[in-house]
Structure formats: C-alpha cells, structure tokens
Amino acid sequence: MAKITVAKNAGYCYGVRRAIEKAESLGGKGQKVYTAGPLIHNKFVVEQLEGKGIFSREDIESIPDGAAVVVRAHGITLEQQRRLLEKGCQLEDATCPHVGRIHRIVEEESEKGRHILLIGAGKHPEVLGIASRCKSCTILENPAQAEEWAEKNSQIAVSVVSQTTFNREIFVNCTKILKNACKSINIFDTICNATDERQKEARTLASGSDLVIVIGDQTSSNSRRLYEICLQVCPDTLFVENAKGIPEGYGRGKQAIAIAAGASTPDLIIKEVYDKMTDEMNIQETESFAELLEQTLKTLHTGEKVTGVITQINPTDIHVDLGVKQAGYIPTTELSDDPNYVIADNIHIGDEIEAYVMRVNDQEGTIMLSKKRLDAVKNWEVLEKAVETGEVYDCVITDVNKGGVIANVLGIRVFIPASQTGLPREADLSQMVKTHQKVRITEVTRPRRRVVGSIKAPLMEARREAAAKIWEEIEVGSVYTGTVKSFTSYGAFVDIGGVDGMIHISELSWSRVKHPSDVLKIGQTVEVYVIALDKEKKKISLGYKKAEDNPWTKFESNYNVGDVVPVKIVKFMPFGAFAEVLPGVDGLIHISQIADRRIGKPEEVLTIGETVNAKITDIDSEKKKISLSIRALLDASNTEPEEVEAEENDAE
C-alpha cells in the first residue's frame, strides 16, 4: 500500500516563524509596515504579507521616513540599519537568533584584531549582513577559494564562521584546509542545528522513497540545498514552489513518497501538496496533516520530563532533537555532577536521552535541558533504597567540611562525618580530597536534601573479612606486606591486611634502636614475617630485620683472630672501651690493652667517636663477643692479652 511521509522538520524554522509573527503583530495595528528586503525567501508569503499591510522594499531609500520597519530574519547590514535610523524609522528586529549570535561573534573577534573568514554564499543577504559587522572579512564559497586564500595569508590570525544555512560538507572541507595552513585560527560552527537536522532527515527519507517532493521558493538557498541532497539519493525528486507545480497524475504507481520543505515554506503550501498527493494516490489518511503539524508545533514547559535524540556533541553543549520546532540543548555542565564523568564514554550521536526542561526561550527558539537534574530525582530514590540494602558505592571526595568530608555519589552531595572517614582522630582530612573511596549510605532525608555516608563501615567490613581469611591461613614463617599503623616505646604495630601484628623493637634492626621511629614511618609499606602467634589471644609477633642483614654473620664471614681493623670508639666503661667493628658489631678493648703503660681510665687515651686501629685477639661466636687490642700493635714484644673475660662478665 502506498504511503506518504511528511518530514518532521518540514516548513518554517523557529527564526522564520518568529519574524512573520512580529511583522503580523505590527501590521495588525492598522499601520503600514515595511521590511528591508523580503522578510523571508518565499514570494507567496511576501504577497500574503502585503495583503496585511506589510510591504517589502529592497531599496532602503524607498521606505518612508519614520515608518515601522521589520528587520528580516536574515538580518540587514550595519549601513542599512544606520540609514533607517537616520530616517527616523522604528525598527522591530526579527533577525534570526542564530544569525544574531554570528553578529556578536564576528564583532568580538574583530575587536581582538582577528581577520574574519566567512564561509557562505557571497551575495546572500545574511552573509552581507554578517560581513558588514567585521573590521576585515573575506567571504569563501568553496574549498578552492579557502586553499587559495590560505596559501597567501597563513600568518594572519583568523576566526572562521559560516552562513547558518550553508552546506556543512563544504564548511567542513574549508575548515580542514584552513586548520592545516593557518597558524592562529578560531573556528565557530555556526551552521544552524535546525538546518542540519532538516538536511539529515531529508536524506534519510529520500533514501527510502520512490519519489520525493521538495517544496520551497526558487530563491531560497536552504530549499535548493534540500533538493540537491534528495536528488543525490532518489533520482525521482521534484522541486516545486506549491501544489500547482506537480503534474497531474504524478507519482501514481509509487509506493513510498516523501515530502520535504525549506525553512521559508508555510504550512499551508505543505498541506496543499500533501492533500494533492493524497488525492492522486487515492490514499486513505490514517493521520491528518493537521495532527502531524500539531505534533511539530507543540510547546514544552519548564519542569517537564522529555525524551529526545542526541544530534550533535560540542565542547560546551549537546544538541537534542525533541520533535518540536525549538532547538533543545544540554549545557555540558548539566550532564552530570560526577567529577569523573567523561562525555565520550557516556553519550553518542543517535543515543536517546531523557532530560528535564529547565527553560524555554521563545525569543531565541531554544529549550535548555538538564540531564543531571532528572538523574538526581531518580538517584534520590536509589539512595533511599541503599540505606536498607547496604549497597556500597564508589565515589570521589570533593571537599572538606566542618566535621567531615564531602563526596559525590550518583550526582548527589554526601556528607561523611570525620568519625566515619576511617582516619584516626585529629588526622588531617584534607589528605582525602580527590581520593577514590567506597561509601555506604547510612541516612537520607530528602526534604532537607541531606545524605550521610560512611567510609569506615565498608572498610571495617572488608577488614573483618580479610582478618578471618588471615587467621585461617596464617602460620609461623608466613610473609606479609603490611602498613605501619602506630608506635609504642617497645615496638611498632603493623596492619597486615585486616589484622594487626607487633614488631618488637629488638626485631626492627640488627643495630641498636632507641625508638621504632628511628627505623620506620607511620603509613610506610613494609614486608614482615611471622615469628610467633597466639590464635586464642589473637596476638601476632612479627619480624622485620632480615637474617641476611645480620651484622654478626657478615663479621664472621670477613674477619678472623689476628686481623688488624679500624674501629670507632663508642662507649667507655671502668674496665675498658667498646669499639664498633661493623655497624651492629662491637668489640671490647680492655683497659690493659689500650696503651703500653698503665692508665687509670680509658678516656685518658681515647675519645668517643675516635677511629683507631686494633687487633682482633679473640672471637667468642657462641656469646658473640670480640676482644680487641691496641697495645698489641704498640708492644714490640707482642705480649699476649691478659685474661679479661671474668672482669667483663662481672661488669655485665
């Protein structure tokens, strides 16, 4: 069965409809109204407007002084505007908001001393109006012109804009050439989103149709572009200004017919074409044209929940097709409150997206949307349920607040009291900012917009699970990587993954240690081994010093009785002096072996920290004692050292 499809984006765009409504509102007051050139590119509409007292004048001078003048959707040049004001005319600005935005861009960029490159049809009134607002401007109509300009002017700082209804393919090709050649370039994508959508839809419809009818004035550039696009994919494409342009019997035998229309085509003409083709094809309507039109003209309101399709992704906003005349967009700041949200990972062109209507701007024909606000409503419900289920969420700590820290969970602010951060009391909470944590929601009070969470709770749970596993597997000799948690005067406590063990001060180093902090630091990652454990009392003794680092082993491997070695005096006793042979290994120089004469005290000859040569006279491996002699090196007779062991034992 044959089917006729009317493009959803057929007919007036927002800017054109707005211009006509402004003109008609002035004409309805009984006064003559003029437009500086045709209000829109459609002869039928211009004739209709004259019947309502609204007259088009190409020549500014032919407009009476003091008359009411509507500035057309394409805008006018600054010179035309100046002249009209000189004539005392009252201007009603109906310039399309998208064109007005380009005016602002080129004015700002010109003030910065940048040359404006305007890509568009050179004689088009919109292009002329934009160019008049530039201090210096070059109009480029195709890539060849862009390449020629770039070859001669690559050193110039340029800013690039486009006519709103221009061919996007040409615009993209031109900007590629300019980007590769120009050393300083700012590119503004000013092609109207409605134009893009209209052309994309026309191409899609044409590709699935046997016949396409494009409606528009022959002078309308956007209508002609629609015709060219459709003709590329459907050879049987007809370009008409109204229903009279369709030959009798045209389209009979076709199964799929598409109707597209330019932005200056009134709904009345589209309906006439639709009705004629319906009669020609003898099609029974399942949905009236009026109903189709009503769908495209429906108005959205602030606070509504809407669903649309993503059509364009820009650095600052996301364009969304809502199926209405106004252009929907989501500022990137309204996508998510999650600081780790990555646009490229979450949304793509063609995706369906739900959003909340924040503001409808009838002046600019835009609808500002917010995804994060709609998500927030859903996520409040999710977090309320999480209090009951105990679900744990990944989050990032964003700030420190009085009494705790702030996290972001599902786009919602969550307060975590200091006692629930998992840090010791009096710890610096700022160290948690920008860290990734796991949080459990413990309280949700939606009317007060208050959510409280705990990092400590999931940490403790994970710690209990880890501890249970460790107690199942732990045995003497097990090696663990742990974190130093705290110190006492007699040792250090280390978390080995849910269980704390203690390293006695004697197990920290082979050298003498006054305090654990001489060897370790709080928070340090260490490798330890189990030297004893009591599962009933839940006590674990850990070792840190390594057997291979035992200085006595190193001594026995490298030194023998009779060796002469440099030693450092470290301590005096009444019976002699202790000297360091190696770090961690000391020997005794008995008072009788310090000098070749009798002395009363070791300090009569030696000083603490002094390095002297001494001879190893005895090694007691069992008791790990070394006897040293300076006298042996001084006494030519090399008298054997006196027996001092008994005196040493008495002193100890």
- At 107, give phi and psi (nearest 5°): -65, -45
User: What single letter denotes the amino acid at residue 413?
Assistant: R
* 126 among known catalytic residues: yes
pLDDT tens-digit readout, 3-45 = 888 888 788 877 787 788 888 888 766 678 999 888 888 888 8
Per-residue pLDDT at 439 exceeds 90? yes
Give the range of the structural domain holding residue 164, as residue numbers without chain letter: 97-187
| DSSP-derived 3-state class of residue 512 | coil
CA distance 533 to 535: 6
Tell me which of 6 and 637 has the higher pLDDT: 6
H and E: helices and strands count for the chain: 17, 32
Residue matched to tokens 């606070």:
303
pLDDT confidence bin for 646, thresholds 50/70/90: very low
Residue 509 lies in a domain: yes
Question: In sequence order, what DSSP letters do the residues of 249-280 get, joined into one string?
Answer: TTTTT-SEEEEEE-TT--HHHHHHHHHHHHHH
Confidence of residue 298 (pLDDT cuts 50, 70, 90): low
Helix, strand, coil fractions of the chain, as percent rounded to 5? 35, 30, 35
**Residue 23: CATH number of its domain:** 3.40.50.11270
Name the token pair of 12.
Answer: 């007036």
> What is residue 651's predicted lDDT score, i.e. its pLDDT?
44
43/54 same-domain check: yes
**End residue of a domain, out of 167, 187, 207:** 187
* Beta-sheet strands, E only, within 198-304: 211-215, 237-240, 256-261
pLDDT tens-digit series, residues 509-568: 887 788 999 889 988 999 999 999 888 888 899 999 887 778 888 888 889 999 999 999
Percent of the chain at pLDDT exceeding 90: 39
Residue 202: inside a domain:
no
**567 and 645 both lie in a single domain:** yes
Tally of domains in the chain? 5
Residue 596, domain CATH: 2.40.50.140
In-domain check, residue 266: no
User: Tens of pLDDT along 331-378?
Assistant: 888 888 777 788 888 888 778 888 888 888 765 667 889 888 888 778
- Selecting among 126, 201, 507, 647, the annotated active-site residue is 126
pTM of the predicted protein model:
0.49
pLDDT of residue 1: 62
Instruction: Give the tokens for residue 28.
Output: 């309805």
Is 616 part of a structural domain of the chain?
A: yes
Q: Residue 447: which residues within 8 A CB-CB, separation 6 or more? A: none
Question: Residue 467 falls within a domain, yes or no?
Answer: no
CA distance 92 to 610: 100
Summarised one tens digit per residue, pLDDT across range 381-407 is 899 999 989 899 988 899 998 889 999
In a 3-state reduction of DSSP, which class is residue 310? strand
Handedness of CA 331, 337, 342, 345 (dihedral sign): negative
In a domain, 463, yes or no: no
Under 8 Å CB-to-CB from 165, ≥6 apart: which residues?
126, 191, 192, 195, 221, 222, 225, 263
52 and 71 together in one domain: yes
The answer to whether residue 446 sits within a structural domain is no
φ and ψ at residue 249, rounded to 5 degrees? 80, 0
Of 374, 392, 420, the domain-final residue: 374
Of 357, 374, 391, the residue that ends a domain is 374
Residues 48 and 65 placed together within one structural domain of the fold: yes
